[in-house]
Amino acid sequence: MDILDSMVGLFAPHHCLGCGVIGGLICGVCMDQEIAVRHSACYRCNKLTKDYKTCVGCKKSNSLSRVYAFADLGGLVESLVYATKFDSKRSGSGVMANMLYPLLLDLNAEFLVVPVPTAKVRVRQRGFDHSVLLARHVSRKSGLENAHVLSRSGKTRQVGSTANQRRSQLKDAFSCRADVAGRDIVLVDDVVSTGATLEAAAGALRSAGARRIFAAVLARA
Ligand SMILES: [Zn+2]
Ligand SMILES: [Zn+2]
């Protein structure tokens, strides 16, 4: 749990987002009964694949070869994402990481955990970058090295537009500021919807010479 949040939690403990019981953000009972782990599928078209691989058709146009997605966005998972992002529940990142990291236990130690940085305007509003926190927790629990190597330009904002518009808006949003040539990467974020953000981040890593590029998200919208 994030130190600041656990200190705040001493004075104002969380209520479970599902049933309201005092303790963590999601209690053990709700975790077992209300959250269904998602099947392994292509993140874009939802076709069933092995090990969360991107299907052959969707792979043609992008650099992401796997996207691990723990659950579908909805119910308690959506409440957790919302609470973390918009209600500034920092400990939400730790709860998400607890769900996410078991999917990554087969990855070898060569993989770097890289957060998909949030737009700066959002980080200013919230006071923290939930994606950076999530990556830090995932790294700690999985034992994979955390590498905050992507920068995000301030101009790009996602508005209610089509997947193709989002892709062109985000085309140059990310740049890689470290040497990742030949490295294997697992990008970390909370939600994948059109995939445009993850693909733009993966594109920047590919341009910087990264080898295999996977992603891990809590939920698929
Ligand atoms: Zn509960
Ligand atoms: Zn596909």
Q: Helices 130-142 & 91-100, crossing angle to 10 degrees?
A: 50
Please name which ligand lies nearest the alpha carbon of 62: 2
**How many other CB atoms are there within 10 angstroms of residue 125's CB atom?**
12
Greater pLDDT, 169 or 181: 181
Residues 6+ apart with CB under 8 A from 182: 209, 210, 211
Please name which ligand lies nearest the alpha carbon of 76: 1
Q: Is position 30 within any domain?
A: no
- Using CB atoms within 10 Å of the CB of residue 15, give its burial: 0 to 12 exposed, 13 to 18 middle, 19+ buried: middle
Tell me how far apart the 2 most distant CA atoms of the chain are, in Å. Answer: 52
Protein residues within 5 Å, CB atom, of ion ligand 1: 16, 18-19, 27, 30
Q: Is position 163 within any domain?
A: yes
Q: Is position 165 within any domain?
A: yes
- Of the candidates 122, 124, 125, 143, the one whose C-alpha atom is nearest the C-alpha of residue 189 is 122
pTM: 0.90
Instruction: Render pLDDT for 152-165 as a digit per residue (tens, 0 to 9).
Output: 986 655 566 677 77
What is the chain's mean pLDDT, rounded?
90
Distance, CA of 100 to CA of 130 (rounded, Å): 14
158 within 8 A of 108, measured Cβ to Cβ: no
Instruction: Render pLDDT for 114-125 as a digit per residue (tens, 0 to 9).
Output: 999 998 888 888
Q: Is position 1 within any domain?
A: no
- Using CB atoms within 10 Å of the CB of residue 200, give its burial: 0 to 12 exposed, 13 to 18 middle, 19+ buried: buried
Please name which ligand lies nearest the alpha carbon of 53: 2
- CATH number assigned to the domain comprising residue 162: 3.40.50
Domain of residue 125, residue span: 37-220
The number of distinct structural domains making up the chain is 1
Q: Is position 17 within any domain?
A: no
- What pLDDT, on a 0 to 100 scale, did the predictor assign at position 61? 81
